[in-house]
Structure 1
Amino acid sequence: MRYCLAMVADPHVPAAGGFPEALVAAALDAALALPAAVPVFAISGLQGSGKSTLAAQMAALASRRGRTAAVLSIDDFYLGKAARQRLARDVHPLLATRGPPGTHDVGFACATLDALKQGVAAALPRFDKLADDTAPRASWPVVAGAADLVIIEGWLLGTPAEDEAALAAPVNALERDEDADGRWRRYCNDALRRAYPALWRRFDALWFLQPPGFEAVSQWRWQQEQQLAREQPGKPAMDYAQVQRFIGFFERVSRQALRTLPGIADRTIPLDAQRNALLQ
């Protein structure tokens, strides 16, 4: 578990930096009520929307109830730097950058979830974002026995591929200037169509944290990078201009998620620009 957040007594007041306790409890109750022996509860949302925070809050509440939750992120399954450099050489230079479809080890993610669902001892991979590479295996936490619940979070979870015709026009300057022939975005979309549905099928439930629009991602992602730098001082972090370019890699699939996930997810939680959950 990455974060341990204190809960507050009033269930309508969010914990510092987190979601209202009532929402956390509702999510955990929904997850534990799923019929699978070890259910997989997926939290989807664009960058900076609070997915890892909600996952950590759910795991902390589960622990207080005497239950065990294994927490994973799609980010934990990024291909390592060397593998992405091979893709950059063989397919397209933009594939050196982690994050878009085609830069995850989806087979490993499926195998990890399968092991956890079967109660088999499993090491939970971790990715060092500041080093931009897989963390040393010795640092991976190990689930020795059966967990009561698996929580996986990620920015594109559950998102379907686009129609081929939608790929013709670039959505931003990155695609226009660095993917003029559309080869990179076609590769990513093909990966999303071919590889990722096997992972989506392993989810027993999917909740979507819905931002007010893609424009909110820019500020949220910058806040996220600053937090990473505070947690690991001395390691290189992106500056603001680099963050703005970085989010360009995610814009196409993020907009596809905004269009499609409210109709796919089991529950959609709208967020305002400050990431407050707009609960009815």
Structure 2
Amino acid sequence: MSSKFADEKVQICTSFLQEHLSNHQYHKQCPFVVGLNGMQGVGKTTLVASLAESLNRNGIITVVFSIDDFYLTHEEQIKLAKKNPDNALFQHRGQPGTHDVKLAKSVLVSLINSQQTKVPVYDKALFSGQGERLPEQYWTVVNNQGSKPAQVVILEGWSVGFRPLSPKQVEAKWNAPSRTLYKHKLEHLLLLNEKLRLYEDIWNCFDVFIQIDSTQAEFVYTWRQEQEDCLRISKGDPQAGMTAEQVQKFVDGFYPGYELYTESLRQGWNLHRPGTQLQIIVGLDRTVKQVNRL
């Protein structure tokens, strides 16, 4: 096994999935669906790619896609922003409410039914970084005719698995000391919370859930800055990427989601199904500090 697959998080996740997969395959014929959550910069994209490769090497056909694949089209983003002109949460892609939930659910259901499925491709670089969904001819085709269908389907994203709160819970968090929530009107946070309810049907398709957590949520600012620093080095251009001020503003745009929903996710993705959530807590250097079953 190469050093790439020796990564501790991959080994922990593979062991967890294989344990549940064997029981799933004994009782069900449909693919095993995994939700994976991790804040920006924690390394979830690299993790799921390595995890899928590890499972495929073990003969388990695995497909991975991201909630980011289902961002609204550029035109739809503009309409959403204009409809909510004073709500900063909907002026850019990222938060719940900025995805085509109906499309995401249809793709997931198609994969669960082992049908040939086209998964959207989203290019974040288009429209000066505002992003755009590519035309359908560029989408990824999964479960081609004549090939064996996927046995494991992994949906990853920074907000995957977030559960909506009650209005009173949202208000309590808004009134408590926070890093970013005070910058937003309560009614704007309540609208975000209502948008999140639309995602519940997708989350309820998961058989198990993996959360890549951190000892401090604020690490996301450092990790994002590291990404920009690496971009400058790779391009050989000291002006490439976002400045520290721009990184702060960018992450601030996502941070309300962490402040609102991470705490409940740490209580358990599905309280009615104990043992189906794997929580891996990492430190600032992204090494594993603790592993829990919830």
1:38, 1:147 within 8 Å by CA — same for their partners in 2?
A: yes
Find the counterpart in structure 2 of residue 99 from structure 1: 94
1:218, 1:247 within 8 Å by CA — same for their partners in 2?
A: yes
1:174, 1:245 within 8 Å by CA — same for their partners in 2?
A: no
1:44, 1:158 within 8 Å by CA — same for their partners in 2?
A: yes
- Which one-letter code corresponds to 1:277 in the other structure? V
Secondary structure, aligned partner of 1:196: helix
For residues 80 and 4 of structure 2, the distance between their equivalents in structure 1, rounded to whole angstroms, comes to 50
- Which one-letter code corresponds to 1:150 in the other structure? V
Deviation at 1:118, TM superposition (A): 0.5
1:77, 1:105 within 8 Å by CA — same for their partners in 2?
A: yes
1:47, 1:220 within 8 Å by CA — same for their partners in 2?
A: yes
Deviation at 1:10, TM superposition (A): 8.7
Find the counterpart in structure 2 of residue 85 from structure 1: 78
Which of these residues, 153, 157, 160, is aligned with residue 154 of structure 1? 157
- Verify: 1:61 aligned to 2:61, yes or no: no
Deviation at 1:30, TM superposition (A): 3.8
Which of these residues, 253, 260, 274, is aligned with residue 249 of structure 1? 253
- Verify: 1:271 aligned to 2:278, yes or no: no
TM-score (norm 2): 0.79
For residues 233 and 63 of structure 1, the distance between their equivalents in structure 2, rounded to whole angstroms, comes to 36
Find the counterpart in structure 1 of residue 263 from structure 2: 259
Which of these residues, 142, 167, 182, is aligned with residue 164 of structure 1? 167
Deviation at 1:150, TM superposition (A): 0.3
2:111, 2:117 within 8 Å by CA — same for their partners in 1?
A: yes
Secondary structure, aligned partner of 1:160: coil
For residues 234 and 135 of structure 2, the distance between their equivalents in structure 1, rounded to whole angstroms, comes to 18
Superimposed CA distance per residue, residues 42-89 of structure 1 (whole angstroms, 9 cap, x where no aligned partner): 111211122222211111012212332111111111112211110111
Which of these residues, 4, 27, 43, is aligned with residue 36 of structure 2? 43
Question: Which has the higher mean CA deviation after the structures are superposed, 220-229 or 94-103?
Answer: 220-229
For residues 283 and 214 of structure 2, the distance between their equivalents in structure 1, rounded to whole angstroms, comes to 6
Q: 1:69 to 1:230 in 2, by over 3 A?
A: farther
Superimposed CA distance per residue, residues 98-156 of structure 1 (whole angstroms, 9 cap, x where no aligned partner): 11111111111111110001111111212212222213433322111521110111111
- Verify: 1:184 aligned to 2:176, yes or no: no
- Which one-letter code corresponds to 1:103 in the other structure? T
1:174, 1:249 within 8 Å by CA — same for their partners in 2?
A: no
**Unmatched tracts of structure 2, length 5 or more:** 270-276
- Which one-letter code corresponds to 1:73 in the other structure? S
Q: 1:239 to 1:172 in 2, by over 3 A?
A: same
Secondary structure, aligned partner of 1:92: coil
How high is the sequence identity, in percent, across the aligned residues? 28
TM-score (norm 1): 0.83
For residues 138 and 123 of structure 1, the distance between their equivalents in structure 2, rounded to whole angstroms, comes to 9
2:178, 2:259 within 8 Å by CA — same for their partners in 1?
A: no
Question: Which has the higher mean CA deviation after the structures are superposed, 30-39 or 44-53?
Answer: 30-39
Find the counterpart in structure 1 of residue 133 from structure 2: 134
Superimposed CA distance per residue, residues 9-30 of structure 1 (whole angstroms, 9 cap, x where no aligned partner): 894xx3xxxx445224314414
Larger of the two Rg values belongs to structure: 2
Find the counterpart in structure 2 of residue 205 from structure 1: 208
For residues 157 and 226 of structure 1, the distance between their equivalents in structure 2, rounded to whole angstroms, comes to 27
Please provide the CA RMSD for this pair: 2.8
Q: 1:23 to 1:159 in 2, by over 3 A?
A: same
